[in-house]
Each structure stands twice: as structure tokens, then as C-alpha cells.
């Protein structure tokens, strides 16, 4: 604990000193706060992603279990419930949501939290969401997202500090600015999840290791082992940090003037490994309550099987990398990042003084790329930790180029910053006018109190549903033996419903469902289109990049809000929402084929 307090004091002193020394840093951090926090309340009280809902429930269910029955077994069952529970995120969000629980208890609404002890999975926990007071979800999501904004701004500062450690303050400034202008980084800051905290901890670990290599302070190495273990505890794909720790130790051994076994410091390595393993284990709530088997299942049954578990269309891995980075960075910053990485790698041949720190950054970057190259597919949030690492190498490259050719570097840098600012700015501005938010506002204003809304999605998050409105979800209703209202007031179709109209979709296909959706958009069955939100696809047929066709990806690097897959945030195209209202006779023959 004394070591921890010492490192925290040193870190705070460094942060204050940087703000005083580098006047540009405060403006970069302010820009980061504005961009990461802009309209952070979008979709509230609904959720940005399914993962966001799952992580918040993972924290609230144990509270509900204990309020319902104050006992160790209730706490244990509440922890064991859920999707994972998902590592250290449950602890973090449990701490963040404690004020929500306390307010509910003092307001006499503790039963609302207790009712979350065993939420039903149907329609993405719709019943738990619908029956719980709206203020609980509003405050919970707001606290979680603000915490992610804080981690994002912290990641910007750590990127700056690693850039300074690697090269100079100008390199650090540029690296942090490039990260701040990366739209993929900004989107992850707009949701609750484990990705941003894990990225923050990975960057902190790399910074500590760079100082360990330079100074030889073993406390830095052990602290890096702890933060690396915590990063893995938040997200198992942070495992490449283990390779960075190992490389850092080898670099320090190479610099050591000791000889024999003492030079290798096996005791230090063993202590660091044990600390890292310990913090990985205690990061999982299931391990803390004695269910190590669930931790093993998560690691072996979940993460290791991810490479063979397809959740998107089949396409070459290069296509997935290009798709992810073009939408995350934009075309100019993507080209700049690739150039910066290649130039920095070439520059290492000259063995510059900053080579050890650069090697650590490269180790982390290539470790992640190697990890994901074995997957079937991945999302922007999986690539998140590589974005600041690429920004660091780009910042380093630009400062070297500036020293040699300032007359050429200046205009090129200006073009890169202006185009990246436009891409990120337009993308973030889109949060102020999201189709599903607009659809919810319309329903709250126009729909009668007893109106019924019919939707066809599997999960609540995929819909535009007012918290107080009566909803019937047709997907799986017949299998569950439920009887649907044959003539609801409204029917809602979204972008993913329209995918049934697109040929050769990898997941949503079938002639019967496609015919039904086409009949609805053709205003049959006595329903007419009364409202649309977001850009309508041509003839209602989504036009998304063809898997494996590379030239179609260029648009993703030019238009910041583009079509997404699976568990990513659904941005403007994916949020297209169509509302039909019953205006004619009730067509009793209408059958919902879901």
C-alpha cells in the first residue's frame, strides 16, 4: 500500500507538472472532454449496446439479491447470475451505482432494486427495464458513461506521457491529439463497457514499463504487473500486455551491469507474475465468491473459442482490419497511421535512444494485431487499445519528419489535422440527432396512452421504445405460447428488419420474412407509414459493404457514421426507424413470421 500511495503521488505530481509546463496539453485534454462527453446521454434510458445493459445488470443484480434476502448465499447467487459476470467491470460499476441504490432505498423504492434480483432474459430484459423506475436507468447509465469519459480523457493523457517518454513533448502532444481526433475512440467513450478502462490500464502499464526500462526501478515493474493484470481482468483480450511486460524485462536485463543469475532477477519476474495472476483472479467476482470453475469457463469456453465463433459475415481477415480501422480513424488518419508505423519501424534500424520505449509500443501493437488476426471477425471496440499505440508512433514519425523537412511537414500535418477534425467532428455531432432518440420523442408526443407498439427485434436495445409505452415483441412469441394483439396501434421497423429484404445476408434471410417486411413497407394490412427517422435505404433495402470487396470500404473512411455489425454501437444508418400506424380495418389474417 505504501508503494501504491507513493506511485499515485508521483503520478499526480507528474500530471500537475505537465499541465504547468506544456500549455498545449490543457487544451488537448479540454478538447478530449468535449468530444468524448458530447451528448453522452444519447439513448438514455435505453442503452447504447447490449453489452452496456449486461454490464449494468451484472452490478445491479447482486444489489437486488441482497436487498431481497440479506445473506451470503443471496450475494453469491447474485454474483453468479448473468452473462459472466464480466470481470472487473462488475466491481467498478457496482461502486459507481452504489449512490443509485442508496437513493432508491432512502426514497422508499428499494423494492425496485430488489425486483432486479432475477430479471427475465426475454426481449433483452425488457420487463425489468420497463417496470423499473425510469430515473434508476437514467442515473445509472449517466454515471457509467461519465466514468468512461473520465477513462477516455485519462487515456489521452497517458498517450501524451508515453509519447514524451518515447521522444519529446511535441511527439506527446501530437499523439494525444491524434487519439482525440480518432472517431472510433470517441464512440467507445459514449457507451458503458470494459473496453475503455482496459485500454487505460494497458497504457498505464506500458508507461510504467518504459520507466522501468529506463530507470531500473523494480516498483515500476511490479506496478505494471498489477495494472496489466487488472487490464486483463477487465477484458481478456488485453492479454498482449503480458508480452509487453516480458519484453520490458528483457530490455532491462540487456541494460543491466550485473552478471549471472542476478542479472535475470528471477525473483522479480516471479513476484510480478504472481501479482498479475492474483489481480486477474480477484478481478472476477465469480472467483471471489468461490466459483473458479466459471472463471475457467469464461477463459476457455469464451475467449479461446472466439476465433472459431462467427458473429459476422465470412470475409478475409484483411477486410475486417480495413473495415475496422477505416471507420475508426477515417481515411486520412488511417493512411497517416500506417505510414507512421512503417516509418517508425524503419527508424528503429538506427537504434535511437528512444528505441526501448518504441519497442514496448510496437510489442503491444503487434501483439493485438496478431491476436485478432486469428479471429473470424472483430469490432472497433476490440481494436481500441491499438488506436493510441498507433497515434504514439504517428506522433513520433511526424516530429522526426518536422525536424528534417519542416516546410513539407507543416502543410501535410495541417491537412491531416483538418481532415481528421472534420471526420471526428461530424461523427460526434451525429450524437445530437440520433434516429432512435427522435423516434422515441415522436412516440411519446403522438401516441395515445393506451397505444400498443409492435416490434420484431430480439433485444430491447435494437428498438426505439419509450419507457412507459406498452410493447409487444413478436420475435419468439409463438414459440413461447404468447398471444399477440392482432391489430396493434403501431408497428416499428428498423434497419435490421430491412436486412431481410437484402439478398445474401449472412444472418437475416428467408423468403417468408422478406415478403412480410415488403408488405409492411408497401403499406398493406391496413397500416400506413406515419413517421421515418434517419436516412431511408434505397427502396428500403440496406446497402452495406459486401464482405470481401475492398473498394467498397473506402466510403467508411470518408463518412464517419456508417453501417456497423453485431455488438457495436448502432450509428445513424443502423438506427433508421420506420413507424406504421393502423388506419384501416384490422386484418385478422396478418401473421408475424418471427
Predicted local confidence at residue 478, as pLDDT: 65
Question: Binning pLDDT at 50, 70 and 90, where does residue 479 land?
Answer: low
Predicted local confidence at residue 566, as pLDDT: 60
Question: Binning pLDDT at 50, 70 and 90, where does residue 344 land?
Answer: very high
Each residue's pLDDT tens digit, 318-327: 998 999 999 9
| Exposure class string for 237-276: b at 16+ Cβ within 10 A, else e | bbbbbbbbbebbbebbeeeeeeeeeeeebeeebeebeebb
Predicted local confidence at residue 147, as pLDDT: 97
Residue appearing with cell numbers 414459440? 479
Name 587's Cβ contacts closer than 8 Å, sequence gap at least 6. Answer: 486, 487, 525, 526
Sign for the CA dihedral angle at 411, 413, 416, 421 comes to negative
C-alpha cell of residue 217:
526501478
Question: Binning pLDDT at 50, 70 and 90, where does residue 574 land?
Answer: confident
Cα separation, 235 vs 280, in Å, equals 10
Tell me, rounded to whole angstroms, the distance of Cα 149 from its chain centroid: 12
Q: 106-115, 465-474, 581-590: which range is least confident on average?
A: 581-590
CB 53 within 8 Å of CB 137: no
| DSSP H or E segment with residue 355 | helix 355-373
pLDDT at position 85 over 60: no
CB atoms within 10 A of CB 174: 30
Arithmetic mean of pLDDT, 437-458: 93
Specify the higher pLDDT residue, 493 or 264. 493
CB atoms within 10 A of CB 4: 11
**In a 3-state reduction of DSSP, which class is residue 455?**
strand
Class of residue 135 by CB neighbours under 10 A (exposed 0-12, middle 13-18, buried 19+):
middle
Rg of the chain on CA atoms, in Å:
25
Each residue's pLDDT tens digit, 48-70: 998 899 999 999 999 999 999 99
Each residue's pLDDT tens digit, 523-558: 989 999 999 999 899 999 988 888 888 998 999 999
Each residue's pLDDT tens digit, 242-257: 999 999 999 998 877 6
Question: Binning pLDDT at 50, 70 and 90, where does residue 260 land?
Answer: low
Class of residue 290 by CB neighbours under 10 A (exposed 0-12, middle 13-18, buried 19+):
exposed
Question: Binning pLDDT at 50, 70 and 90, where does residue 287 land?
Answer: confident
Residue-wise DSSP of 476-538:
TTTTTTPPPPSS-SEEEEEHHHHGGGSTT-SSS--HHHHHHHHHHHTT-TTEEEEEEESPPPG
Predicted local confidence at residue 498, as pLDDT: 92
Diameter over CA atoms, the chain: 90
pTM score: 0.94
Cα separation, 460 vs 458, in Å, equals 7
CB 217 within 8 Å of CB 207: no
Whether residue 392 has a cis bond before it, omega within 30° of 0: no
What is the distance in angstroms between the CA of the first residue and the CA of the last residue of the chain? Answer: 56
Predicted local confidence at residue 376, as pLDDT: 74
What's the whole-number average pLDDT of the chain? 90
Cα separation, 582 vs 190, in Å, equals 36
Residue-wise DSSP of 67-131:
HHS-SHHHHHHHHHSSS---THHHHHHHHHTHHHHHHHHHTT-HHHHHGGGS---HHHHHHHHHH
Amino acid at each position: 500500500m505504501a508503494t501504491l500511495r507513493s506511485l499515485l503521488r508521483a503520478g499526480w505530481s507528474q500530471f500537475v507538472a505537465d499541465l504547468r509546463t506544456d500549455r498545449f496539453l490543457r487544451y488537448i485534454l479540454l478538447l478530449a472532454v468535449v468530444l468524448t462527453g458530447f451528448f453522452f446521454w444519447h439513448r438514455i434510458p435505453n442503452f447504447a449496446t447490449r453489452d452496456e445493459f449486461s454490464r449494468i445488470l451484472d452490478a445491479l443484480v447482486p444489489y437486488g439479491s441482497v436487498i431481497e434476502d440479506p445473506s451470503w448465499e443471496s450475494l453469491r447467487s447474485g454474483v453468479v447470475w448473468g452473462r459472466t459476470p464480466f470481470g472487473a467491470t462488475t466491481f467498478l460499476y457496482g461502486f459507481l451505482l452504489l449512490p443509485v441504490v442508496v437513493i432508491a432505498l432512502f426514497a422508499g423504492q428499494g423494492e425496485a432494486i430488489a425486483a432486479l434480483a432475477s430479471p427475465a432474459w426475454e426481449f433483452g430484459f425488457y420487463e425489468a427495464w420497463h417496470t423499473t423506475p425510469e430515473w434508476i436507468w437514467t442515473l445509472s447509465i449517466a454515471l457509467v458513461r461519465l466514468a468512461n469519459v473520465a477513462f477516455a480523457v485519462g487515456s489521452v493523457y497517458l498517450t501524451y506521457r508515453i509519447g514524451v517518454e518515447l521522444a519529446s513533448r511535441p511527439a506527446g502532444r501530437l499523439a494525444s491529439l491524434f487519439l482525440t481526433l480518432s472517431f472510433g475512440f470517441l464512440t467507445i467513450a459514449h457507451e458503458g463497457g470494459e473496453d475503455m478502462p482496459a485500454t487505460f490500464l494497458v497504457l498505464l502499464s506500458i508507461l510504467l514499463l518504459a520507466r522501468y526500462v529506463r530507470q531500473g526501478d523494480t516498483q515500476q515493474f511490479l506496478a505494471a504487473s498489477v495494472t496489466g493484470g487488472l487490464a486483463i481482468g477487465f477484458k481478456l483480450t488485453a492479454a498482449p500486455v503480458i508480452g509487453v511486460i516480458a519484453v520490458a524485462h528483457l530490455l532491462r536485463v540487456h541494460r543491466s551491469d550485473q552478471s549471472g543469475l542476478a542479472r535475470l532477477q528471477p525473483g522479480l519476474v516471479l513476484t510480478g507474475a504472481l501479482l498479475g495472476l492474483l489481480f486477474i483472479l480477484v478481478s472476477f467476482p465469480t472467483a471471489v465468491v468461490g466459483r473458479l470453475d466459471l472463471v475457467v469457463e469464461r477463459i476457455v469456453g469464451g475467449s479461446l473459442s472466439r476465433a472459431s465463433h462467427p458473429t459476422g459475415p465470412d470475409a478475409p481477415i484483411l477486410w475486417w482490419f480495413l473495415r475496422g480501422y477505416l471507420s475508426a480513424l477515417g481515411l486520412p488518419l488511417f493512411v497517416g497511421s500506417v505510414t507512421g508505423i512503417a516509418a517508425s519501424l524503419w527508424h528503429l534500424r538506427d537504434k535511437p535512444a528512444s528505441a526501448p520505449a518504441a519497442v514496448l509500443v510496437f510489442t503491444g501493437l503487434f501483439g493485438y494485431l496478431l491476436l485478432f488476426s486469428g479471429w473470424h471477425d472483430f469490432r472497433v471496440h476490440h481494436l481500441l487499445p491499438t488506436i493510441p499505440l498507433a497515434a504514439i508512433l504517428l506522433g513520433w514519425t511526424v516530429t522526426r519528419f518536422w525536424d528534417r523537412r519542416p516546410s513539407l511537414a507543416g502543410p501535410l500535418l495541417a491537412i491531416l489535422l483538418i481532415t481528421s477534425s472534420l471526420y471526428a467532428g461530424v461523427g460526434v455531432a451525429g450524437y445530437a440527432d440520433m434516429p432512435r432518440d427522435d423516434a422515441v420523442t415522436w412516440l411519446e408526443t403522438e401516441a395515445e396512452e393506451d397505444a400498443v407498439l409492435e416490434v420484431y427485434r430480439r433485444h430491447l436495445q435494437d428498438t426505439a421504445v419509450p419507457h412507459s409505452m406498452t410493447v409487444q415483441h413478436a420475435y419468439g412469441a409463438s414459440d413461447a405460447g404468447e398471444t399477440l394483439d392482432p391489430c396493434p396501434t403501431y408497428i416499428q421497423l428498423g434497419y435490421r428488419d430491412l436486412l431481410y429484404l437484402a439478398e445474401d445476408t449472412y444472418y437475416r434471410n428467408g423468403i417468408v420474412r422478406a415478403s412480410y417486411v415488403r408488405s409492411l413497407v408497401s403499406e398493406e394490412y391496413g397500416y400506413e407509414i406515419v413517421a421515418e427517422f434517419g436516412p431511408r435505404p434505397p427502396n428500403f433495402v440496406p446497402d452495406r459493404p459486401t464482405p470481401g470487396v475492398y473498394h467498397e470500404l473506402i466510403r467508411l473512411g470518408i463518412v464517419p457514421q456508417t453501417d456497423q455489425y453485431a455488438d457495436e454501437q448502432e450509428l445513424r444508418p443502423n438506427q433508421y426507424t420506420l413507424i406504421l400506424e393502423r388506419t384501416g380495418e384490422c386484418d385478422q389474417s396478418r401473421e408475424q413470421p418471427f
